[in-house]
Amino acid sequence: MTSTVHYQGNLRTRCEHQQSGNAFITDAPTDNNGKGEAFSPTDTVATALASCMFTIMGIKANQMQIDLADSRAEVTKVMTTDPRRIAKIEITFDMCGTFDTKTRQILENAAKTCPVWYSLHPDIEKQIVFRWK
């Protein structure tokens, strides 16, 4: 078992990772009858894409003996209706470190091979920008 999810009422869940015991809550977003006091389930999907892309870049960076620490990503999720779903995920990566063009390309390509990327429905548009400092 990977996780347990407990519905707490009022459109809130508590999600617990079984191996580590780490937990987080989700709330329905304000545009869908919720309070927006925490990540919505669809926020976690969009955020998981950025996290997964960073993880795969980090693995590649470790193999290349380079450091990506202090890099960050800004994530925007765009919803659509009929049916209500994620239409687009926009991610802007602000990458720390001075790397040549080849290294940057290797890392960017690696990011786009993450499992979440491949798990998302092909109709979800992914707009990805890498800004190298």
Surface-to-core class of residue 1, CB atoms within 10 Å of its CB (0-12 exposed, 13-18 middle, 19+ buried): exposed
Range 75-80 average pLDDT:
97
Residue 16 makes CB contacts below 8 A (sequence gap 6+) with: 3, 4, 5, 6, 22, 23
Q: What was the pLDDT predicted at 74?
A: 98
Average pLDDT, integer, range 14-27:
98
- What is the value of pTM for the model shown? 0.95
Q: Determine the average pLDDT of the residues in 7-21.
A: 98
Task: Tell me: do 45 and 94 sit in the same domain.
Answer: yes
Mean pLDDT of 4-19: 98
Do 61 and 122 sit in the same domain of this protein? Answer: yes
Query: Do both 83 and 100 map to the same domain?
Result: yes
pLDDT over threshold 90, residue 110: yes
Both 2 and 50 in a single domain?
Answer: no
Same domain as 93, residue 58: yes
Residues 60 and 77 in one domain: yes
Note whether 64 and 104 are same-domain residues. Answer: yes
Mean pLDDT of all residues in the chain? 97
Residue % of the chain over a pLDDT of 90 = 99
How many structural domains does the chain have? 2
Do the strands 125-132 and 85-95 form a parallel or antiparallel pair, or are they unpaired?
parallel
The 10s digit of each residue's pLDDT in 84-103 is: 999 999 999 999 999 999 99
Read off the pLDDT of residues 41-73 as tens digits, 9 standing for 90 and up. 999 999 999 999 999 999 999 999 999 999 999
Do 89 and 105 share a domain, yes or no? yes
Q: Please tell me whether residues 22 and 52 are part of one structural domain.
A: no
The pLDDT of residue 133 is above 90: no
User: Containing domain of residue 82, as a range?
Assistant: 41-132
